[in-house]
Chain A
């Protein structure tokens, strides 16, 4: 850690002193650093400039105050928060249940895991196109409901149901992916812990509660953080299934930003919104990075 505190300055100092390793390291890193500059720093700078430039040409924070007071933006925040509060716990609970189910004692186990993992490989836009037909009033889902004797639903055209349709679809996509991380975590739990618990007469539920869950803490936290970022930036499903409607009930933050930037053409507001978005994401991603590193002393 003390080595790290000297920071970028230390790297540059070594490099400028002309130490041979410093030079070589710089050459190997240069393309990646160039990419960070072009793909992250440059657009962030652009967003900062655009966000403080007001329509009348002066500089100020007007774009931010306008954005925060905009009912459309406030609604989008509410929808995004509601979405996050439902979709993240739901997906993690499902992924955990699937991981435990598909950990062992099932024939052809790899096949079932692969099937659950398939949707994550498919572009979200393509999944959305398929589900847009599934959710049609005359589509297969209502046909199934009808066959079960249940009333037909409006799904994507209903203010109350549209967001849940999107939750169902993105969970179909993502759950198998997060399951993969948790299965890897399950494999790392020493069998001796379960043997000891069995000898103590612990039931299956007690074993899950007192051995599996505590042992999975780290992968579970990682999945929670990574899943939160992924769900925060959902765009293609919303744009394709509902365009944020009906009545803004599915207007997640990326769709709101896209609309602001390219439909209402509010460049300043869009830049301000981008900055807020990036600030939130950087915070979550920094936590994710810490979780990815092996624990201290185990490099």
Chain B
């Protein structure tokens, strides 16, 4: 079906749009790789040096990595990793219960769970931060991780996928003496790789992006995450633009790589929930 002939005008438009979309990122990369004091130097008149680092240097990157930013990246990796690990188990267990068990009120429990988690977390972040402060979770990894664990979209996607697995598989396993937990992690989870990757990506993007919540719950620089650490450059009196761009590029690189690795799963899993007739 997609074997239809290539259209030149359409193709040119696609390339141009992609170039425009890439330009801000490309300029950030180039700026990270030139001397701080030359970042605005090649803007007017525009020339090839606007988009290519004439004074190529890795000084910005080196200076950045010797400072506190590296710690922020590590914190982000740790917090996001824990979120994915624990969050996937939590969401998959809930999705399993909602797909496999038959109990009264199931559809209401499902709706309540998904709708509560679909409420964007930021809208409730302000009162939650005062609750968590009272609970002594300010400036702690637990405080940073908790909000990312329950995700409505992930529960929804996993449940839809579990519903497609024949119940007979579980019933047969039960005859062989396998308990519910066994059916869950020996049969359902291994069969659900694509849905688990999709759900994992959702959890990943949420946590790596988090900005407002870390700002509220972890003001201590020791718990800075990358998304906040990059923004910290803006408030400084004398901004080091080279280091700022190096930080922006490093903070963006990890999620971009993850997206590139799993884009296929992302497109198929996320896009198929909610758009099907």
Give the dominant DSSP class at A's interface.
Answer: helix
20 A-B residue pairs with Cβ-Cβ distance under 8 Å, sorted by A, are A4-B106, A11-B105, A35-B117, A36-B112, A39-B147, A42-B128, A46-B131, A104-B1, A105-B5, A119-B25, A121-B259, A125-B230, A130-B245, A138-B40, A140-B43, A181-B270, A191-B1, A222-B274, A292-B156, A295-B277
* A233 to B91 Cα, complex, angstroms: 24
Give the dominant DSSP class at B's interface.
Answer: helix
* A13 to B106 Cα, complex, angstroms: 12
Are the C-beta atoms of B123 and A118 separated by less than 8 Å?
no
Query: Does B61 reach chain A (CB closer than 8 Å)?
Result: no
Query: Does A218 reach chain B (CB closer than 8 Å)?
Result: yes
What are the nearest 8 A-B pairs in CB distance? A10-B104, A10-B105, A32-B94, A184-B271, A28-B97, A4-B107, A35-B150, A43-B128
Q: Give A1-39 as 1s and 0s: 1 = Cβ < 8 Å from B's Cβ atoms.
A: 101101111111111000101101100110111011011
Query: Does A131 reach chain B (CB closer than 8 Å)?
Result: yes
Known: A122-B256, A143-B44, A278-B124. A114 touches B263 (CB 8 A): yes
Interface size class of A (residues with CB under 8 A): 35 or more
Are the C-beta atoms of B24 and A131 separated by less than 8 Å?
yes
Are the C-beta atoms of B45 and A25 separated by less than 8 Å?
no
* A43 to B123 Cα, complex, angstroms: 10
- Interface Cβ pair total, 8 Å cutoff: 326
Query: Does B66 reach chain A (CB closer than 8 Å)?
Result: no
Are the C-beta atoms of B10 and A106 separated by less than 8 Å?
yes
Query: Does A44 reach chain B (CB closer than 8 Å)?
Result: yes
Known: A4-B108, A47-B127. A21 touches B102 (CB 8 A): yes
* A47 to B31 Cα, complex, angstroms: 44
Known: A123-B252, A146-B44, A281-B119. A29 touches B93 (CB 8 A): yes
Closest residue of A by beta carbon distance from B275 = A219
Residues of chain A in range 124-159 having any CB-CB distance to chain B below 8 Å: 124-134, 138-140, 143-144, 146-147
Query: Does B175 reach chain A (CB closer than 8 Å)?
Result: no
**Interface residue count for B (Cβ, 8 Å)?**
108
Are the C-beta atoms of B252 and A126 separated by less than 8 Å?
yes
Closest residue of B by beta carbon distance from A103 = B2
Closest residue of B by beta carbon distance from A253 = B123
* A133 to B25 Cα, complex, angstroms: 12
Residues of chain B in range 223-277 having any CB-CB distance to chain A below 8 Å: 226-228, 230-231, 233-234, 241, 244-245, 248, 251-252, 255-256, 258-260, 263, 266-268, 270-277
Q: Within the complex, what minimum Cβ distance (angstroms) separates B92 from chain A?
A: 9
Query: Does A188 reach chain B (CB closer than 8 Å)?
Result: yes
Give the contacting residue for A43; candidates B2, B15, B127, B260; CB below 8 A: B127
Give the contacting residue for B93; candidates A32, A44, A131, A289; CB below 8 A: A32
* A15 to B212 Cα, complex, angstroms: 38
Known: A43-B131, A124-B211, A288-B118. A147 touches B44 (CB 8 A): yes
Residues of chain B in range 129-183 having any CB-CB distance to chain A below 8 Å: 130-131, 146-147, 149-150, 155-156, 163, 180
Give the contacting residue for B263; candidates A33, A117, A274, A299; CB below 8 A: A117
Q: Within the complex, what minimum Cβ distance (angstroms) separates B119 from chain A?
A: 5
Give the contacting residue for B121; candidates A28, A33, A39, A184; CB below 8 A: A39
